[in-house]
């Protein structure tokens, strides 16, 4: 049977129970993972300024800052995927954790055998979500560029009193002559509200 792949990046364990954290860390490292340990949210944020990790494992009952509050800061500042360790198995606790974006939720006591599959699953899910966001951003960028080109073409049509095809060809020639992307020329024309339209580069 093929073993689960080990995450390429280290994991961050944020746990204030030092004995439990040390035991968990030793078990995870024995399984082949690199683990950074932080006893509080503040320590974890300071650590993340100097190291790169692929996943955070967060105790929900952190001193001075709840795991849920810390997760929100973690998402805003670092966009880091995370899973929760907690003593609370109530529906409200689970809903808050999932609402903050937790990829898994484990109720203590937790051992390495339980945690490892969750880590691998969360890392895989995080990679899938990152791919989806990248595809979404690429699609949105393409749509924005098409919209800008369409609007700019309309500006050229109105300014020069020409048909759509001729206006588009003028924009394309302008982009080629200036060695820029058509979308960039279109955006400049829109921002300038048509004043960037040069007769010598966009003459019929």
Q: What is the pLDDT of residue 105?
A: 78
Q: What is the CATH topology of the domain spanning 137-191?
A: Arc Repressor Mutant, subunit A (1.10.10)
Structure letter (DSSP) for residue 195: T
How far apart are alpha carbons 142 and 148 in whole angstroms? 10
- What is the per-residue pLDDT for 164? 85
pLDDT at 137: 67
Cis? peptide before 38, omega within 30° of 0: no
pTM here is 0.58
Average confidence (pLDDT) over 107-119: 82
Taking Cα atoms as reference points, which of 61, 125, 131 lies closest to residue 97?
A: 61
- Mean pLDDT of all residues in 151-167: 85
Kindly report, residue by residue over 10-21, the tens digit of the pLDDT: 899 999 888 989
Span 175-200, average pLDDT: 77
DSSP bridge pairs for 121: none
Is the pLDDT reported for residue 37 higher than 90?
A: yes
Supply φ then ψ for residue 149, to 5 degrees.
Answer: -65, -40
Q: Which neighbouring-strand residues pair with 12?
A: 36, 56
**Which strands sit side by side in the sheet containing 105-107, from one edge to the other?**
35-38, 11-14, 55-59, 82-86, 105-107
Helix or strand holding residue 5 (H, E): none
Mean pLDDT of 139-168: 83
- Quote the CA–CA distance of 45 and 99 in Å, as a whole number: 21
Architecture of domain 11-110: 3-Layer(aba) Sandwich (3.40)
Helix-helix angle 182-191:112-160, to 10 degrees: 70
Average pLDDT (84-99) is: 70
Residues of the chain with CATH 1.10.10.10: 137-191
Alpha helix positions (H), 11-66? 18-30, 41-48
Using 50, 70 and 90 to split pLDDT, how confident is the model at 157? confident
pLDDT at 12: 92
pLDDT at 197 over 80: no
């Amino acid at each position: 049977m093929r073993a689960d792949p080990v995450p390429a990046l280290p994991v961050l364990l944020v746990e204030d129970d030092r004995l439990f954290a040390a035991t968990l860390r030793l078990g995870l490292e024995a399984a082949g993972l690199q683990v950074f340990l932080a006893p509080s949210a503040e320590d974890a944020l300071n650590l993340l300024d100097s190291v790169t990790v692929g996943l955070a494992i967060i105790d929900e009952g952190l001193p001075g800052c709840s795991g849920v509050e810390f997760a929100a800061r973690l998402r805003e500042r670092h966009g880091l995927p995370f899973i929760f360790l907690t003593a609370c198995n109530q529906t409200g606790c689970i809903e808050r954790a999932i609402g903050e974006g937790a990829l898994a939720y484990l109720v203590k006591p937790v051992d390495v055998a339980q945690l490892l599959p969750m880590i691998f699953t969360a890392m895989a899910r995080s990679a899938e979500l990152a791919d989806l966001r990248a595809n979404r951003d690429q699609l949105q960028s393409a749509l924005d560029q098409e919209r800008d080109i369409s609007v700019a073409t309309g500006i050229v049509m109105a300014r020069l009193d020409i048909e759509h095809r001729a206006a588009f060809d003028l924009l394309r020639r302008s982009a080629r002559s200036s060695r820029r992307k058509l979308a960039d020329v279109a955006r400049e024309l829109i921002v300038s509200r048509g004043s960037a339209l040069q007769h010598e580069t966009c003459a019929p």
